[in-house]
Amino acid sequence: MQALELLLDDDTDAVVREEWAALRDRGLPSQADHTGETNAPHVTVLATDSLPATDEELASALRPLLPVPVRLGPVIAFPGRRAVLARLVIVDSRLLTLHETAVSTSRADASPLTAPGRWVPHVTLARGLPLDRVGEALALVRAAGHDGTATLLRHWDSDARRTTALA
């Protein structure tokens, strides 16, 4: 998998990491449990099996669109056999423009969750949350919204297990 991810300013990153810690401290699944060196709060802009555009093409097209305001909104649980807990990102015209530019410049087949018209921007708090603990997790991270900024766009290459800063 290839992904384009927006990283958050220091204050917004800290807000998310506090929520990760609160979940972990309660014995719930948390992104804090993921100890990979590239693990950071982020908004996935594009996920795809193949990324035809070069990093240079992507950087050239997307650099002028950053930084972009990011408002963390309510917490949501995406359903499945186990839930994914996430904080929604409130969409505005600048974020939509960045998304549309990323998808068109990439020339990639976006995954269904990052395709135009279907994209649900969010910051993941936990994966693999047992369904019988969703209510507990939602009650734990009911913080108010937070206004921040996405300051950096990176390319995550899961095959090579590396990130490249683009803009």
% of the chain beyond a pLDDT of 70: 100
pLDDT score of 103: 97
Count Cα atoms within 13 angstroms, Cβ side, for 151: 10
pLDDT score of 130: 96
Look at residue 119 and tell me whether its pLDDT is greater than 90.
yes
pLDDT range class, residue 143, cuts 50, 70, 90: confident
Look at residue 159 and tell me whether its pLDDT is greater than 90.
no
Q: What are the C-alpha distances in Å from 106 to residues 58, 59, 86, 91, 114?
A: 7, 10, 26, 21, 12
CATH for 2-156, options being 3.20.20.10, 3.90.1140.10, 3.40.710.10, 3.40.50.2300: 3.90.1140.10
Q: What is the mean pLDDT of residues 92-111?
A: 96
| Sequence spans of domains, the chain | 2-156
More confident residue, 22 or 38: 22
Measured distance CA(26)–CA(155) in Å, rounded: 32
Q: What is the mean pLDDT of residues 95-101?
A: 97
Measured distance CA(108)–CA(69) in Å, rounded: 25
% of the chain beyond a pLDDT of 90: 87
Buried b (16+ CB within 10 A) or exposed e, 122-142: bbbbbbebeeebbeebbebbe
pLDDT range class, residue 31, cuts 50, 70, 90: very high
Measured distance CA(15)–CA(75) in Å, rounded: 13
Which residue type is seen at 4? L
Predicted TM-score (pTM) of this structure: 0.93
Q: What are the C-alpha distances in Å from 20 to residues 26, 61, 119, 160?
A: 10, 32, 23, 26
